[in-house]
Amino acid sequence: GGIGARETFLVDDQGRVIVRSSELDLRARAKQLDEVHATPPFAHPELVPALAQPSGYLELPGALLTWQRLHAGPWSLVVESAPL
């Protein structure tokens, strides 16, 4: 595998994906204030309890996850990379 980020995600404190880098061009912008979009669960559920920490990393089979909690809102920036 290559070195570097495969994909980045904005994930809430319950492990739901708010937005992901691979869908930035595909996601339609809301036209109405009450429109919502799907927030599917993050593909690696073991991340959810780890998000209690403000930052860190998880080494998983096939992926290295790193995250940093944002100052605003209940969100963390999560980066999925190739394992070391």
Q: What is the pTM of this model?
A: 0.82
Q: pLDDT digits over 33-68, tens only?
A: 566 678 899 999 999 999 999 999 999 999 999 999
Give mean pLDDT, residues 72-77.
91
The residues, any chain, with a CB within 8 Å of residue 77's CB and separated by 6 or more, are: 8, 9, 10, 67, 68, 70
What is the C-alpha to C-alpha distance for residues 80 and 4, in angstroms, rounded to an integer? Answer: 9
H or E element: which one contains 58? strand 55-60
How many residues can be counted in the chain?
A: 84
Give pLDDT, residue 15: 95
The answer to whether the beta carbons of residues 13 and 70 sit under 8 Å apart is no
Give pLDDT, residue 72: 84
Percent share of the chain, pLDDT over 90: 63
The answer to whether the beta carbons of residues 64 and 84 sit under 8 Å apart is yes
| Of 27 and 60, more confident | 60
